[in-house]
Structure 1
Amino acid sequence: MNKSPQHTLLIAAACLLALLSTVGTSLPYPILPPLFASGVENGLNGFLGLPPKLLFGIALTVNPVGLLIGATLLGPVSDRYGRRPVLLATAFGAAAGHAVTALALVAESYPLFIVARFATGLMEGNGAVARALLAEKLAGPERVKALSWLNGAFHLGWLAGPLLAGLTVGFGLAVPFLVAIGALVLAGLLVMAAVPRQPSGGAATSLLQVARDNHVLHLLRHPELRTLFIIQLACCSGVTAFYDFFPLWLVEVGGFGTQRIAIVNTLLCGVMTAAAIAAGRVGGGDPLRRAGWFACAIGAAVACVAGGGLWLGIGAIVLFGIPNAFYNAAVQPWAAERFAAHGQGAVMGMLSTTFCLASIATALAGSVLVLVDTRLVLAAGAALSLWAGWRLHRWRAQLAHADRAVSRNEISNATTTATTTPTMIATMSATDRTTP
């Protein structure tokens, strides 16, 4: 991939922001389960006398709620006010959110922790803006490979966040978040250097009006995009059920602490990051067919965690990263090509929003199901991913039939036009000859 220095800097800035967005989401995962499930009472797990597992589920939910709102709104806002100011505001805003999170953990204030996680998630919903930035600044193979690297950065965040937590939490609960603050400030400075200033687009419009009139859920008015949304929501529900609750499963089944959870997560995300980079170089075949099989493989991996013993579950956790990376590598380029007329930022924003909705749904449902058994959450997620794989195969056949029908109509219309035109010319000539 031949890149100019400016393009290299641009890709680096987008990837660093993507990495840190996922780091912000995944950083607390190995920290929270021991705080809420170890049986040792503290200010976080004793809030209002509620069950610690319920408080844990709520703590997992609020960050995806913020991510959902950010993913839905930040793309259209960046269309209006420009990518650069939105990326800068969200980078420095997320740093402030991490600072408040660290303060809440030290003070053992559950309400402050919830507010901080929500605000941080809102700022970290800028993944669609980063994707839109690369899609509009790059073209051809350079764009495809850059988006592949961006996906790899998102996946790498699931490794870096828990790994950062495992390596630094021994120095204090606040330390992992302080390191993340420094990284986000550096990312903001890189955005300043890499992303040029551009005038805002469109007429003067209030932020509230942009948010109300241009959010990405407007795409659901289109039948094909609505079908994609439903399938993606089901598959992502299996993915997020896995992400949210496999650390708790490790605590309950294996008695794992923060550092051992971080080790398992490191293996998972290392495999997933390598698979994401490899997936960007592997093409060919029907992308929906491949996506259907990878969705089924995701469901099978989650089912092995739900129904297997400790070592089978750990093996499935680590290998889960392969089908997950290849599924995204198949669906995202296909969606970008098929629905390009709707705007790349809007389409990528819809995919990000779908993931956030799935995170919220699984965290809410999981906070109830986990009171019975953590394996129920994982089993439900596995079933949803398996259904998504089956539905993708059916939808692929339906789309192929519809596309063939459109092609036949176009050929028929072209043939009719080619046959009719000479006749019309001859008729017009005859009319001209008989006209006095």
Structure 2
Amino acid sequence: MSSHAPPARTHLLIASLCLLGLLSTTGASLPYPILAPLFAGDVGNGLSAFLGLPPKLLLGIALMVNPLGLLIGSAVLGAVSDRLGRRRILLATAIGAAAGHALTAAALVAESYPLFLLARFVTGLLEGNGAIMRAMVVERVEGPLRNHALSWLNGAFHLGWLVGPLLAGFTVGVSITLPFTIAAGALLVGALLAASALERGTAAAKAGERWWRVARERHAFTLLRHAPLRTLFSVHFAYACGVAAFYEFFPLWLVDVGGYAVREIAFVNMGMCALMTGAALFAGRASSTEPRRRASIQAGLAALSILAVGFGSLGVGLAAIVLFGLPHAYYNATVQGWAADQFAGYGQGAVMGLLSTTFCLANIVMALAGGALALVDTRIVLVLGGALALWAALAMRNWSRRAVSVAAQAVELR
């Protein structure tokens, strides 16, 4: 399936998808500054007293259910949209995620912990629609603009992780439900704007085909039956684990090494997200360097940044945290663009879903492994993350060398 719109329509498409991407990750990141005081604060409530369980255990479960939903959604939604149509699935998930935010607000009012978990899981599941957005860009934008558009979409996702906590911080003082109400309304507006901008695709379900059957039989992990995609998964998973170790534990490193509080950590995160978002505006530029070789350089620079935090002083670590955003933004643009070209025959939704799912899985793995290692020393987690990202860089470089060698031999045989 491929259709290319006129330039004006194309730019409207890109803008609509970037807006939805921004609103999606804004909603996903919204609860993080809210949940810790809610469960670990001095004032008791029905959420933190559920079944008499320890509040920190309840907090951990509450933090886990949204990424778990995101993992499942990333694995299946892209593949479902390959068969049932991008537009209808994207709009349905956006509206459903808005309903999930409204349900979260209702759970907070009712102080119902099971309802809160359900709301966060469903919201995460439906916000796993990033693969659909990337697939739409790949299929409907042509030429050099496509890689730029993918990079801009990544920038919108990155910006959402900055906007969400800021929105929560500015509005939660009025009402604990207000941030979620705003997120729900904004997503509905975004879905309405997208509905007018997105043309109807040509994909349609076969007679008797149901979405749950497609999800079961064509989820992203079915691509691992193919050797090149297994290689991509293993390399990208190692890199994603390194990034997850960095994302999840540099705030704890700032507390351990610098005694930073929430506000100072937020400012450091703002600097990193701002650089990452800015870099994403330019990361899609064409290059004559083989994509996997280019990605290996970018992954290597990201790995050095992570290792600099693990081994460095507070000043060195602060600089490395902010600068990490630069190579990471370029790596994402390079790998996504190359995968879209290389594996288009497997379905763009499934391919983009595999990349998204890999990152979600890495976050869960490193949260578990890093939590245990951090009991010894947070720096161990960061050094492990840097080592994994460095291995990914070397593996990507070797993969590029083998591919170039095979291509050269094929030319000689001709």
Scaled by the length of structure 2, what TM-score is found?
0.88
Whether 2:276 is the aligned partner of 1:272: answer: yes
User: In the alignment, which of 96, 120, 125 is matched to residue 123 of structure 2?
Assistant: 120
Deviates more, 1:366-375 or 1:87-96: 366-375
User: CA deviation digits over 1:7-40, x for unaligned, max 9?
Assistant: 2221111111111222222223333455567788
Deviates more, 1:83-92 or 1:300-309: 300-309
Whether the aligned pair in 2 keeps the contact of 1:76 and 1:210 (CA below 8 Å) is: yes
Matching residue of 1:263? 267
Q: 1:303 to 1:102 in 2, by over 3 A?
A: farther
Matching residue of 2:155? 152
Matching residue of 1:299? 303
Alignment partners' CA distance in 1, 2:270 and 2:192 = 28
Whether the aligned pair in 2 keeps the contact of 1:61 and 1:364 (CA below 8 Å) is: no
What SS does the aligned partner of 1:278 have? coil
Matching residue of 1:79? 82
Q: 1:335 to 1:254 in 2, by over 3 A?
A: same
User: In the alignment, which of 391, 394, 399 is matched to residue 395 of structure 1?
Assistant: 399
Alignment partners' CA distance in 2, 1:253 and 1:57 = 24
Q: 1:108 to 1:128 in 2, by over 3 A?
A: same
Whether the aligned pair in 2 keeps the contact of 1:53 and 1:367 (CA below 8 Å) is: no
Shift of 1:43: 5.7
Matching residue of 1:313? 317
Matching residue of 2:350? 346
Q: Which has the larger radius of gyration?
A: 1
Alignment partners' CA distance in 1, 2:377 and 2:110 = 31
User: In the alignment, which of 213, 223, 232 is matched to residue 219 of structure 1?
Assistant: 223
Matching residue of 2:251? 247
Shift of 1:49: 6.3
User: AA paired with 2:340?
Assistant: A
Alignment partners' CA distance in 1, 2:289 and 2:145 = 21
User: AA paired with 2:155?
Assistant: G
What SS does the aligned partner of 1:140 have? coil
Whether the aligned pair in 1 keeps the contact of 2:24 and 2:187 (CA below 8 Å) is: no
User: In the alignment, which of 71, 77, 97 is matched to residue 68 of structure 1?
Assistant: 71
Whether 2:17 is the aligned partner of 1:14: answer: yes
User: In the alignment, which of 190, 194, 199 is matched to residue 193 of structure 2?
Assistant: 190
Q: 1:177 to 1:38 in 2, by over 3 A?
A: same
Alignment partners' CA distance in 1, 2:119 and 2:372 = 23
User: In the alignment, which of 168, 179, 197 is matched to residue 165 of structure 1?
Assistant: 168
Identity %: 57
Shift of 1:50: 5.8
User: CA deviation digits over 1:255-284, x for unaligned, max 9?
Assistant: 545444332222111100111112123623
- CA RMSD, Structure 1 to Structure 2 (Å): 2.7
Matching residue of 1:285? 289
What SS does the aligned partner of 2:282 have? helix
Whether 2:341 is the aligned partner of 1:334: answer: no
Alignment partners' CA distance in 2, 1:34 and 1:47 = 16
User: AA paired with 1:389?
Assistant: A
Shift of 1:216: 1.9
The count of residues paired between Structure 1 and Structure 2 equals: 409
Point out where structure 1 has 5 or more consecutive residues left out of the alignment. Answer: 412-436
Whether the aligned pair in 1 keeps the contact of 2:144 and 2:285 (CA below 8 Å) is: no
Matching residue of 1:415? none
Whether 2:360 is the aligned partner of 1:356: answer: yes
Q: 1:323 to 1:36 in 2, by over 3 A?
A: farther
User: CA deviation digits over 1:34-68, x for unaligned, max 9?
Assistant: 55677887665665666665554443332222112
Q: 1:99 to 1:118 in 2, by over 3 A?
A: same
Q: 1:275 to 1:33 in 2, by over 3 A?
A: farther
User: CA deviation digits over 1:159-214, x for unaligned, max 9?
Assistant: 22222223333334333222211210111101210113346524220222111221
Q: 1:27 to 1:244 in 2, by over 3 A?
A: farther
Whether the aligned pair in 2 keeps the contact of 1:272 and 1:324 (CA below 8 Å) is: yes
Matching residue of 1:91? 94
User: AA paired with 2:210?
Assistant: S
User: CA deviation digits over 1:328-368, x for unaligned, max 9?
Assistant: 12212222222223232222121111111112212233344
Scaled by the length of structure 1, what TM-score is found?
0.84
User: AA paired with 1:9?
Assistant: L
Q: 1:290 to 1:30 in 2, by over 3 A?
A: farther
Matching residue of 2:408? 404
Point out where structure 2 has 5 or more consecutive residues left out of the alignment. Answer: none
Matching residue of 1:134? 137
User: In the alignment, which of 176, 184, 187 is matched to residue 179 of structure 2?
Assistant: 176
Alignment partners' CA distance in 1, 2:132 and 2:172 = 31
Matching residue of 1:426? none
Shift of 1:371: 4.3
Alignment partners' CA distance in 2, 1:98 and 1:323 = 33
User: CA deviation digits over 1:73-117, x for unaligned, max 9?
Assistant: 112222222122211111111112222333444555544333222
User: AA paired with 1:7?
Assistant: T
Alignment partners' CA distance in 2, 1:46 and 1:373 = 31
Q: 1:99 to 1:202 in 2, by over 3 A?
A: closer
Alignment partners' CA distance in 2, 1:248 and 1:109 = 30
Q: 1:159 to 1:103 in 2, by over 3 A?
A: same
Q: 1:291 to 1:41 in 2, by over 3 A?
A: farther
User: AA paired with 1:351?
Assistant: L
Matching residue of 2:236? 232
Whether the aligned pair in 2 keeps the contact of 1:301 and 1:320 (CA below 8 Å) is: yes
User: AA paired with 2:239?
Assistant: C
Whether the aligned pair in 2 keeps the contact of 1:57 and 1:367 (CA below 8 Å) is: no
Deviates more, 1:148-157 or 1:374-383: 374-383
Shift of 1:372: 4.3
Alignment partners' CA distance in 1, 2:96 and 2:182 = 15
Q: 1:211 to 1:283 in 2, by over 3 A?
A: same
Alignment partners' CA distance in 1, 2:355 and 2:211 = 23
Alignment partners' CA distance in 1, 2:69 and 2:142 = 31
